Amino acid sequence: MELIPVQNIKVNNPYLRFNTNIDELKESIKTVGLINPIVINKENKLIAGGRRFSALKDLGWEEVPCIRVDEEGLKEELISIDENLVRQNLSDVELENCLRRGKEIYETLYPEYKEEITLEDLKPKKPKKNLSEQELEEELDDAFTELKKKTFVQNMMNKTGMSETAIKRAILRDQESSHSVREARIRGDIGASQVNEIIRLKKETQDEILPYISDKASHLVKEIVKDVEAHGLDVALEKTANFKPITKEFIALKNMSRRMNRAAIKIISLGEMYDGPEKDEAVNELIILKDTIDELIEAYK
């Protein structure tokens, strides 16, 4: 470890964050000191520890404890990404970009651990059936084989606590999204669940359909994507243009109707008819409800 003057450290690293809240970190450093030194390369460029560096500057430290690494460019970038993923509060889009770029670098440095991630990884995994003893042994052998590997996804699972599925989906969203879709994510026009559906399409098709899905729930986006795949873009867009979204009130009515129907069937089947002081009030409410429902049904005929 070396002590380096603050003014000698270069901070032009796109992965590091210097504008986040560091008040708690400063208090921690004042109380227990700096536990983890910052990381620099041989040219004094800051590789990891942007928030710690900012906190130390704010606290008036003239020299900063540093660990110097002498690695080639890709390894230095991977160290910065790793620091970003583990320590920073990233936006969803930043997280996805770091995971995708981190995997790319990791597999360039360690090609023996290359792992293909495809759109099939977006599908929920089916629960496994009861296995025979032989199948169970094969599953265990495969699991032990996997443990010996050190893929990027497995490394990130250990470091971030994210699930394998979450990491793979995040990488796919960054990898398969068109530029317009990514910009829409940054603006908050669409969310991750919508992107999980739209990235099944070619990037140029994503751009064309984007204006039609920004206000739609993910299950509707899924249906639109299916229509594009089955019938083509023009048919899907025509169907979407004529689509009337269901209202929140109608969804609430459907859900409440199911609950009331189940409750009524249970009361009737068990013969648990109420005969207490609130009976008349309950019956009157049911009569009013029946009249309203009759009126609503008539309106839909």
The residue ranking higher by pLDDT, 149 or 45, is 45
Q: Does the structure show a pLDDT above 70 at 60?
A: yes
All structural domains of the chain, each given as residue ranges with its CATH number in brackets, are 2-72 (3.90.1530.10), 92-123+145-173 (no CATH), 177-241 (no CATH), 249-300 (no CATH)
Q: Does the structure show a pLDDT above 70 at 128?
A: no
Q: What share of the chain has pLDDT > 70, as a percent?
A: 86
The residue ranking higher by pLDDT, 111 or 131, is 111
Max avg pLDDT among 28-37, 141-150, 196-205: 196-205
- Predicted confidence at residue 49, as pLDDT, reads 83
What's the predicted TM-score (pTM) here? 0.61
Which two tokens mark 257?
Answer: 């109707």
Q: Does the structure show a pLDDT above 80 at 210?
A: yes
C-alpha 42/C-alpha 178 separation (Å) is: 37
- Predicted confidence at residue 42, as pLDDT, reads 85
The residue ranking higher by pLDDT, 122 or 243, is 122
**How would residue 216 be classed by pLDDT, with cut points 50, 70 and 90?**
confident
Judged by phi (left if over 0) then psi (alpha if -120 to 50, else beta), residue 188 lies in: left
Give the distance, in angstroms, between the CA of residue 59 and the centroid of all CA atoms in the same chain: 35
Mean pLDDT of 163-181: 91
- Predicted confidence at residue 2, as pLDDT, reads 83
Of 89, 93, 76, 84, whose CA–CA distance to 10 is shortest? 76
- Predicted confidence at residue 43, as pLDDT, reads 85
**How would residue 237 be classed by pLDDT, with cut points 50, 70 and 90?**
confident
C-alpha 135/C-alpha 241 separation (Å) is: 50
Dihedrals φ, ψ of 202, to 5°? -60, 155
Q: Does the structure show a pLDDT above 90 at 177?
A: yes
The residue ranking higher by pLDDT, 187 or 239, is 187
Mean pLDDT of 75-90: 77
